[in-house]
Structures are given as C-alpha cells and as structure tokens.
Amino acid sequence: MPEGDRSAFPRRNGTRAPARGALVVAVTDARGHPLAMRGLAAWVRRVAPPRARGAVTIALVGDARIRALNRTYRRSDHATDVLSFPAFDRASEAGARPARRRHRTNPEPRIPDPEPLGDIVIARGVARRQAREARHSELTELKVLALHGLLHLLGYDHERDAGRMRRVERRLRREGGLREGLIERSR
C-alpha cells in the first residue's frame, strides 16, 4: 500500500484496514508504482464530498501518455491536463455496473479491499506548465486537477449540468484553500 494512504486506515489489533465508507487515495506513476505524494493524497481525502467513498488512484503520467489516452477515449488528439475513468458506469439505467473488471490486489484476505471509485490520470508536464501560468506551485495545480477529476468520478459533468459541478468545485476548493478552480480558469 502506498505510503500516502496510511492515514486512511485506522489501527485494529496491529493491522490496518479501510475505515468503513472511507476514501482511499493512492498516487502512482504511469506504471502504477507508488509516489510519495502524501500532501496530495491527504488533501484529496480531506476536501472530498462525504459521498466520495472507495479507492481512487491518481496516476501522474507524461504528456505523450495522456495524449494517447485522450485520443483513444475522447477522440481528441492533444495532451489534456486530466482524465477520469470511473470504475462504474453511472449512466446505466439498471444502476451502477462495473465499467471494467478490477482484480483485488490485497495480499491480506482478512482485510477487505475498498470498492473502486475510479482512476484519475494527470499529465505532469501539462500540470507544470499550467502551474507556471497560474503562478502557483505544481502541488497546487495537482490539487486543482485531482479535485476536478474526483468530481467527474462522482458523476458531475460541467459540460451538461447547468453549473452544478462548477458550484461544488468552487465550494470544495475554497474549503481546501485553493483560490481558483479548473472550470473557472477555463472560462
């Protein structure tokens, strides 16, 4: 388990297990190796809405990788800043269904894995450039992008929801100490 997630797991008889209903955040590189980004993982858990429960992976990848993903999944051939991949199809009429099969990676069968919420992919190069343009740190930009991606995992869609995602993003980013959100910046 990535170091950044240990605070999401309370101690119980010497073992760590996910708190019921907790949001578990792992930050990885493009290959899925854990990155020591405690500040980002803890911040996302702190500002996440109460209904954000389960496991989220934030993958920090190169611009070429996110461009390929954007081309494949959104039919747009450029390096975007953030993509979200929900673990469940929230648009299905029969309720939430797995969007893809996920295997359990927990080597300790007594400790249940949290249900997957989804994956957030952030282009590190794009994030660095946007941080310079916005005159804030790369970590601040990663927070802006991670929050935006998390809201997409929860089913928000700023292109179709008449400002609902923008309002939620504004409230959460203010609670998290960010002066500007991705939706506001792109307007």
Domain that holds residue 104: 3-186
Structure-block tokens of residue 72? 């494949």
* pLDDT, one tens digit for every residue, the chain (187 residues): 333 443 333 333 333 444 555 899 999 999 999 998 879 999 999 999 988 999 999 999 999 999 999 999 999 999 999 999 999 765 443 344 444 444 445 555 555 567 899 999 999 999 999 999 999 999 999 999 999 999 999 999 888 888 899 999 999 999 999 988 887 776 6
Looking up residue 66, the CATH number of its domain turns out to be 3.40.390.30
User: Number of structural domains, the chain?
Assistant: 1
- The string of pLDDT tens digits covering residues 41-58 is 999 999 999 889 999 999
Residues in contact with 96: Cβ distance below 8 Å, sequence separation at least 6, in sequence order:
88, 89, 90
Q: Is residue 88 classed as helix, strand or coil in its secondary structure?
A: strand
Nearest to 66 by CA among 85, 84, 79: 79
Is 113 buried (19+), middle (13-18) or exposed (0-12) by CB count in 10 A?
middle
Could you tell me which of 162, 160, 161, 128 has the C-alpha nearest to residue 144? Answer: 128
Predicted local confidence at residue 90, as pLDDT: 55
pLDDT for residue 59 = 97
CB 154 within 8 A of CB 85: no
Given this model, what pLDDT does residue 109 score? 52
Is residue 146 within 8 A of residue 40, CB to CB? The reply is yes
> Measured at the alpha carbon of residue 35, what is the angle toward residues 34 and 39, in degrees to the nearest 5?
125
- Dump strand ranges (E) for 15-141: 15-16, 23-28, 54-61, 82-86, 88-89, 97-98, 116-123
By the 8 A CB rule, do 27 and 4 touch?
yes
Look up residue 108 and give its two tokens. Answer: 């300790």
- The DSSP annotation for 44-59 comes to HHHHS-TT--EEEEEE
Query: Strands 54-61 and 116-123: what pairing?
Result: parallel
Query: How far apart, in whole angstroms, are the C-alpha atoms of residue 148 and residue 167?
Result: 12
